[in-house]
Structure 1
Amino acid sequence: MYPVKSYQMEALDKKYLSELEEIKTKIQASAHLEKYLDEEEDDDYKTLVAEIEPEIQELYLRVANDNPLQLESFEKVLLDDGYEGLYIPKVVGYSVLRGAVDSNTKYRQPQDHFREILVDIANSANFEMIKQRIGQSVQVGFALSSDIWITNLVESINNKRVRSFLESQKSDHLRVPANRALVLKKYQKQFESLNFLSTDFPQTTGELKSNYHSLRAFLLYRIRGEYNNESLHKHLLTFISNDAISNHDEYLETMMIIGMYYDLNLAEQKEYSKQLAKLNDDATVLKNAFFEKLSAFRKEGILVTAESDMRMAKLVHAAKVGGNLEEYYTLMELLHNNGYVHENSIEAVRKYHDQHEGLSEENENLRSTIFTNFTGFLDNLDTDSYAEYFQVTKTFILYINIFSNQKFNQDVKDLSLRYIKRLIKAYTDKRGRDYQDIKKFVKSTFLDLNFMKPKELVELFKTKRKKKEV
């Protein structure tokens, strides 16, 4: 059974309502609308779309940037008949894509907003025009929904013509999970340049469990672009300080995302550290779950940067949690302040690593941090500066010896090889000093580190002859 959604969307600011009213007035006064109503020609409605929808989109994107939690309220205003169904096809797509899906590519919970929009479209005088622009969206939304949800929706519609349209959007092809996943991925690409994600911040355990995946996706999305997150602060503070949900796994993970990626004000920082100290009363939570989740972030492709480490370090120190967590972030501060090549950093890493089991989550995260630094350096090093690569390889070797970890070694090898191939492509004169220096260094170093065998190294520097055309 799906949990009942009891929390409410944020009301739309009056300034946005006022602008929408102006747009509605403009629509009703449009000569294109008058012509469409008189002659009922599709081209006249399309002309109205071209005239008005860019203006609605411009306002929509402003709301999305500054007040994303008001987007659903914005969309509901557009359901008013006075807007003549304009921009609703886009809104259908947004409502389809906001829903979190599970590993089977099915919605985790019913999409009430999607349903509400479809019901409104069914009763719209402009249904015939709107349906021409929403077929793909409805088909994807239906594929992600349960059969009973679709049946209940269709049976609630009295108009046979509308019911027939909705029935036609059910696809047997999309009953196959792999097909659903592929179609959803392609559909998402159509919207990837648009900012439309919104969420509800949960207040109860039920809300946290039901809305967690959408909340998580929203919070991560907002940090990937240069969005204005000022309007989120009151919600962040309320969430952070909510003792009613603080003993749940989803709360800790959300707290980690907030602490690592959001610039909290003083009140939020104070409350955050207070809650972190409470969590520390259960040492297992911070010792095990925190580092496991941090590793999971990295594997998922969520960037753990110097900035995110420094934000969290500040909050951890203020909480005075002690133990593994404080030790780890003290080390992160040292690494990011001094740099990974500094001898103090190297010695501190050695000491921390030796205090934990080699395959522990703490050491896994430590290795990932060091490798991220390696990657940042080599991927931004131009081919003219290859002498710097020679020099920094000495540091790479020190860390390889500290960690004694096969995966780390393989990652460093792959990273180095990527840069070496750039050098080989840049320096093509095999008799030139640059080429010879590079070849000599790579052969010696890669053999010493067991990165490659002699035969493989010969192959690496062998000239690839083009096949003669017949």
Structure 2
Amino acid sequence: MYELNEAYSQHLEAIAEAIQASPNLASYLEEEEDQFYDALKLEFEPQIEAAYQQMIDFSPLEIESFERKLLDERFEGLFLPRILGYAVLRGEITEHYYYARQNNHFGEILKAIAANSNFDQLRSRIGQSVQCGFALSSDIFVTNLVNEVSSKRVRQFLQTQRSSDARTMEGRRRIERRYRRQFKGRNYHYAPFPLTTAELTTLNNALVDFLLFRVGGELNNDALLPTLHQMVTQPDFAGRKEILKPMAIYGAYFNPSEEQLPELKAALNRERKAKPEETSDNILGFILELKQNSGFRFGPEEEQRLGTIVDRNIEDDLTAYFNLTDKIHAEGFASADVHEAIQEEQPRHSGLSNFNENIRQTIFGYFEKLMIGLGTREADYRQWFEITGVQFPAYIKVFGNESFNQQLRGLAKKYTKDLIKVHTNKRGKDYRDIKKTTMRTWQDYGFMTEKQLKEFFKTPRKKKAPEA
């Protein structure tokens, strides 16, 4: 856990003092009416929320320290239901829908809520969080946690949150999915950085997910850079494959300083020299995962940035890969020299290797970018036909890969459907040009047979309204 910086600590201290001095709190303590506690929430929870959001956006490593600060009784339980939910969702979940490790932070917050003098006001806001947290936790953890609560009444409430659906994996999956949807679009993500080799193994998946979330949006990650750099260059982690994904994320999405860049290169060189084939294949496999996941951005910019930390003096697959992709990005995927370079390099690797599949996905990314950038006007679709008319058959021949061909087919179908939705007049010049070119080229590419093409362009008949 990282210590909360002084500025945020003082800010929370000021909020705590303001809560204790609030007339709404005084009225609540005097009258013990829910309306005064609700007024207290309206007065202070937006302030805590604003501080929390700033912290998680800009200094996420300190977020658990921030949350622990809120457990102080002077905050009167405000915002605890929200951070309880965040703690539930942060835990790494296995394929069987159990926490991979005991979620102690969730337990700590729940025990603080259970002991809070305002529990009666908080209980109505924590039911789903407790149910989900309990469903994903082991029976031993839940039993021990509930038994530690001193109040019999609170223990009984917690016991009622143990859902019978949690007995099956499918039930746990439904509970977790349903609960997570409520927090869509919120930033609550955090994972600790490993300090020991044991933690590098146990925390690796959660850390990679956290880093990918951070680089997947528009968040400022300057606060992460020193800690990430220290981790990937730590000598104790040498030779551990778990360091490779964080290293690749670092190279692709972060901007190391002039002092950090040589150290990062040296750390990667260390792994490449020790285990050349394994290191290359693991990194190329991870790059492929990123390209195939629509939730992440990994295009030419990220590929070129990652390539800057790859020492080309080492003869391995990473050097060969980034030399080739540098050429693709510099000269363009339509270059005959690029076609030739790919044809020359491909046979040196097995057809379904991470190396060759990555090259195919790099090229497909350019076709996809072309389609996304075009509209449906005549000038646009003529540009599409002009480029794909040359490049589709060229790359079908270069790669000789049916899966890649199907990707091109899907792209062509999508764009053509967009065209015929706009150009609907079957006697019009645009429609006839689109149909004629498509009928001719798609058969040549092997995308569809003549019969399938006729069916593709057939207008579905409207169902007749039933007679009265």
Q: Please, what TM-score do these two structures have when normalized by structure 1?
A: 0.95
Name which structure has the greater RCO, CA cutoff 8 Å, separation 6+: 1
Distance 1:90 1:396, change over 3 A: same
Q: By how many angstroms is 1:382 displaced?
A: 0.6
Distance 1:287 1:198, change over 3 A: closer
* Counterpart residue type for residue 71 of structure 1: I
* Counterpart residue type for residue 448 of structure 2: M
Paired position in structure 1 for 2:372: 379
Say whether residues 1:403 and 2:396 are aligned partners.
Answer: no
Matches within 5 A, 1:422-461: 422-461=418-457
1:330-363 deviation line (CA, Å, top 9, x unaligned): 1111212222112222222222223322222210
Say whether residues 1:151 and 2:149 are aligned partners.
Answer: no
Matches within 5 A, 1:11-50: 11-50=3-42
Paired position in structure 2 for 1:388: 383
1:289-324 deviation line (CA, Å, top 9, x unaligned): 22233333334444421111011110003x633221
Matches within 5 A, 1:208-247: 208-247=200-239
Whole-angstrom distance in 1 between the partners of 2:226 and 2:202: 21
Whole-angstrom distance in 2 between the partners of 1:252 and 1:232: 17
* Counterpart residue type for residue 194 of structure 1: R
* Counterpart residue type for residue 301 of structure 2: E
1:240-280 deviation line (CA, Å, top 9, x unaligned): 21121232221112212222222222222211100111111
Of 364-373 and 458-467, more deviation after overlay is shown by: 458-467
Say whether residues 1:345 and 2:338 are aligned partners.
Answer: yes
Paired position in structure 1 for 2:309: 315
CA contact (8 A) 2:232 2:246 kept: no
Paired position in structure 2 for 1:364: 357
Give structure 1 regions of 4+ aligned residues with deviation exceeding 6 angstroms.
Answer: none
Of 51-60 and 261-270, more deviation after overlay is shown by: 261-270
Say whether residues 1:329 and 2:317 are aligned partners.
Answer: no
SS state of the match for residue 266, structure 1?
coil
SS state of the match for residue 304, structure 1?
coil
Whole-angstrom distance in 1 between the partners of 2:339 and 2:56: 45
Whole-angstrom distance in 2 between the partners of 1:372 and 1:190: 33
CA contact (8 A) 2:392 2:445 kept: no
Say whether residues 1:467 and 2:463 are aligned partners.
Answer: yes
SS state of the match for residue 234, structure 2?
coil
Paired position in structure 2 for 1:305: 299
1:69-118 deviation line (CA, Å, top 9, x unaligned): 01000001111111000000001011111110010111000111111111
1:139-185 deviation line (CA, Å, top 9, x unaligned): 00010100011011111122111111111111111222122222212
CA contact (8 A) 1:33 1:44 kept: yes
Of 69-78 and 277-286, more deviation after overlay is shown by: 277-286
1:205-225 deviation line (CA, Å, top 9, x unaligned): 111112112211110110012
Whole-angstrom distance in 2 between the partners of 1:308 and 1:348: 21
Q: By how many angstroms is 1:374 displaced?
A: 0.9
Whole-angstrom distance in 1 between the partners of 2:293 and 2:376: 31
Paired position in structure 2 for 1:113: 105
CA contact (8 A) 1:173 1:179 kept: yes
Structure 1 segments unaligned to the other structure (5+ residues): 1-8
Paired position in structure 2 for 1:10: 2
Whole-angstrom distance in 1 between the partners of 2:342 and 2:35: 68
Paired position in structure 2 for 1:185: 177
Matches within 5 A, 1:104-143: 104-143=96-135
* Counterpart residue type for residue 315 of structure 1: I
Percentage identity across aligned positions?
Answer: 38
* Counterpart residue type for residue 462 of structure 1: K
Say whether residues 1:92 and 2:84 are aligned partners.
Answer: yes
Whole-angstrom distance in 2 between the partners of 1:166 and 1:268: 50
CA contact (8 A) 1:85 1:126 kept: yes
SS state of the match for residue 385, structure 2?
helix
* Counterpart residue type for residue 291 of structure 1: L
Whole-angstrom distance in 2 between the partners of 1:321 and 1:202: 29
Whole-angstrom distance in 1 between the partners of 2:277 and 2:337: 30
Paired position in structure 1 for 2:415: 419
Q: Please, what TM-score do these two structures have when normalized by structure 2?
A: 0.95
Of 262-271 and 395-404, more deviation after overlay is shown by: 262-271
The count of residues paired between Structure 1 and Structure 2 equals 461
* Counterpart residue type for residue 365 of structure 1: N
Please point out which of 276, 285, 296 is paired with 1:292. Answer: 285
